[in-house]
Amino acid sequence: MECIAHVKRDRDGNWGPPHALEQHLRAVGELAAEFASSFSGDHWARLAGLWHDLGKYRPRFQHYIRQASGYEPDAHIKGEAGRAPHSTAGAVLACDRFGPAGRVLAYLIAGHHAGLYDWNSEKDSLEYRLNLPDSRQELDEALAAQPPAELLESADFDASLKAIPGGPAGFALWLRMLFSALVDADFLDTERYMNPERFELRNGLPELGELLPLFDHHMADLSAKAPPSEVNRLRAAILGQCRSKARKAPGLFSLTVPTGGGKTLASMAFALEHAKTHGKRRIIYVIPYTSIIEQTADIFRGIFGEAVIEHHSNAETEPDQESSQSRLASENWDAPIVVTTNVQFFESLFAAKTSRCRKLHNIVDSIVVLDEAQLLPPEFLQPILDVLNLLAGHYGVTIVLSTATQPALSTREYFDPRQNLRGLDNVREIVADPDDLYRRLERVRARLPADWHSPTDWDTLARELAGFESVLAIVNRRNDARELWQRMPEGTLHLSALMCGAHRSQVIRDIKNRLKAGIPTRVISTQLVEAGVDVDFPVVYRALAGLDSIAQAAGRCNREGRLERGEVVVFIPPEPAPAGLLRKGEDACRSVLHGCAGNALERALFGQYFERLYRACDLDEQGIANLLKVDGTTLAINFRTAAERFRLIRDEDSVPLIVLYRGAASEVDKWIATLRKDGPQRWLMRKLQRYTVNIRHRDVDKLLRQGDIKEAVPGLFQQASDWLYHPALGFNPDGTPPTPTSVIA
């Protein structure tokens, strides 16, 4: 009797031919080898593919798949009833054949469903699983079923570990790349059998080389429409330099351009030209915040159409697009242009789960643009730099650090080795003379506090702001924004994370329209306005924060250069920044700018600022590097623990809440009704994401007791009291209406 891997019914409910197990193993082996060939891991990936489902040969599994599916309900195959584990047999065989080196294959095979294991941890570990009597029995039963001898042959297999990309320091990433090749191959071959229509939709996107003419056409059209100005001339010069420098050899690059200098399109020009010259496979554009990723993806989609996929926590599709090519491509990043977030990109590189790791082999031979590179989280900076060095040095990845305020990422050694940094060296700057560019694009003058220790109270600040027809004030906390807004004249606008995405987007549109029409506009905002929100105020006030935040705030002032100089005022707020990274940034900024008599936004100051900030931080706070350090004898690595600890956003104290924002074009009531009727669905949760804010657990408990919110579905709450969402301020977690305290007559 032929052993089978999968079975399925057709649309009429009839059983089709089964998916032969030998055919599946051979197909996965060849596809995995193809994926891993770009980093010389093809022989490891092929054998992992051939052995990954070896346990399915055991009679117990064949009995299970026939009876549980209903394919052969009366099958009389000898074997126990119930589920039949199958992912350990090949792992045990690998260790038997190759000794400690076989543990490479054991990690891959044993984890191809459950994810990569720790070798030896207090939880379920790979060492423990391999030594279980059941695991040995699984292999013995599979071999007793006499799989084809060709599948088991390994006499010519080279199990040497001397050619690992990056040596011992690169072992963990290399193994993850092999794991990615295996699990993606397994997913795809299974899909090819189970859902051939879905499989055929893949690979229908254009090749990266086809996109450059589309970009050239768009830029020519943009240039023809741009009014003549010094800013636009400099943007054109930056674009030209990006195109010409793209011919340089792959590796590490920086693109240092002041805010408003056109970095987004200029970096894409570099990436497309670089891909054409060096045969790169895709461009991965990595953005720090989900709040700005959609608009960046929309810019690229307007140029390249469906060649762009958007992959982040909020990116789901409409119900009729569930099988679209872009949706499928987002599963494994098999697309020419991927727009994603720091969280998705870096957490995937340190992940253990199959769904997260599946895309990794498609990062090989790509161009990765790290937008706003200064926002790489300091507490994870060392493992991030380690993996970027490995990608650039051994996997053909070109990395572009794109920012107005380049962080200090080169290698540094101190007397205290705990402060050392294994950095990015040999980074080449794309712009010929950044200092000259900064001077020519200098559009603001910065006014620093006369006394760095004397705060300005909200009443005084409100009166000062009211003296301007149009002004933007940026503060560090949501409560600060509320306090200041309540003291401002009527008509002042407000932006904070207590407003849902739909509300914020509407306010930002209003701000842009008012400024364009010359209507006086006063805005009080948290720092969310600093990244990716292209507004242009003549005056910007910024509460003391990190120097990079002050520079970002300055990018919202005189952005288009219509004034000789805009004015940026740094003030000391009544309360310091919250303890933690924000406070450390504030302290580092104060130490760099205190006594500064020249330009507070001079480019040279940013290196000093970041060096002081990083020295105040533990750059590997979770000990990721040690968890991923391979033991040369046992090949022990704690993949799963490292993945659990490498979380860039830790919102244990945060709960999502659907709010009742009923502004222009709001559809919140419609989507809530759909949720109530049909339950949670991926496309629907994306719709509701636009009407969601995050609040603290302690606020949830209080508001539940008051009856102001209710649980819509487990883990997701919904506003119940209409008055709890303010039309200007957003959600009020205090559960009380705001009290106007304007000090302006």
pLDDT at 79: 46
What lies within 8 Å, CB to CB, of 281 at 6+ separation is 208, 275, 362, 364, 365, 366
What lies within 8 Å, CB to CB, of 273 at 6+ separation is 212, 242, 243, 246, 247
Q: Between the CA of residue 444 and those of 229, 434, 559, what are the distances in Å? A: 17, 17, 9
Pairing of strands 692-696, 654-658: antiparallel
Does the domain made of 443-600 have the CATH classification 3.40.50.300? Answer: yes
Integer Cα distance of 67 and 372 in angstroms: 55
What lies within 8 Å, CB to CB, of 366 at 6+ separation is 280, 281, 282, 283, 284, 396, 397, 398
Asked whether the beta carbons of 527 and 227 are under 8 A apart, the reply is: no
Integer Cα distance of 502 and 657 in angstroms: 14
One-letter amino acid at 682 equals R
Q: How many CB atoms lie within 10 A of CB 566?
A: 21
Identify the residue whose tokens are 């100089």: 565
Asked whether the beta carbons of 243 and 273 are under 8 A apart, the reply is: yes
**CA angle (336, 338, 339) in 5-degree steps:** 150
The CA radius of gyration of the chain, in Å to the nearest whole number, is: 28
One-letter amino acid at 387 equals V
What lies within 8 Å, CB to CB, of 122 at 6+ separation is none
DSSP string for 363-384: GTTEEEEEETGGGS-GGGHHHH
Query: 3-state secondary structure string, 523-564?
Result: EEECHHHHCCCCCCECEEEEECCCHHHHHHHHCCECCCCCCC
Identify the residue whose tokens are 């002081």: 612
Q: pLDDT (tens digit, 9 = 90+) per residue, 606-647?
A: 999 999 999 999 999 999 999 999 999 999 999 999 999 999
Beta strands in 224-325 (DSSP E): 252-256, 282-287, 308-311
Integer Cα distance of 473 and 471 in angstroms: 7
Q: pLDDT (tens digit, 9 = 90+) per residue, 302-351?
A: 999 989 988 765 444 333 333 355 556 668 898 999 999 999 999 999 99
**CA angle (108, 125, 46) in 5-degree steps:** 10
Pairing of strands 522-525, 471-474: parallel
| Nearest alpha-carbon partner for 643 in 113, 117, 34, 68 | 117
Tell how far CA 455 is from the center of its chain: 37
CA dihedral 27, 30, 34, 36 (to 10 degrees): 110
Residues in the chain with pLDDT < 70? 73-83, 291, 312-330, 651-653, 735-745
Tell how far CA 357 is from the center of its chain: 13
**CATH class, 247-437 region:** alpha beta
Integer Cα distance of 43 and 46 in angstroms: 5
pLDDT at 531: 74
Q: Which two tokens stand for residue 295?
A: 């608009």
pLDDT at 44: 98
Q: Which two tokens stand for residue 434?
A: 């950044």
Q: Which two tokens stand for residue 718?
A: 């919904």
Asked whether the beta carbons of 643 and 383 are under 8 A apart, the reply is: no
pLDDT at 325: 58
Pairing of strands 692-696, 709-713: unpaired
| Nearest alpha-carbon partner for 46 in 103, 129, 108 | 108
Residues forming CATH 3.40.50.300 domain(s) in the chain: 247-437, 443-600
Integer Cα distance of 136 and 149 in angstroms: 19
What lies within 8 Å, CB to CB, of 95 at 6+ separation is 102, 103, 106, 130
| Nearest alpha-carbon partner for 114 in 80, 87, 79, 146 | 87
What mean pLDDT is reported for the chain? 90
Q: Which two tokens stand for residue 208?
A: 């990266």
Find the DSSP H helices in 195-250.
196-201, 212-225, 230-245
Integer Cα distance of 47 and 105 in angstroms: 8
pLDDT at 13: 86
Q: Between the CA of residue 61 and those of 21, 69, 194, what are the distances in Å? A: 11, 12, 19
**CA angle (163, 166, 169) in 5-degree steps:** 115
Q: Which two tokens stand for residue 78?
A: 């000898």
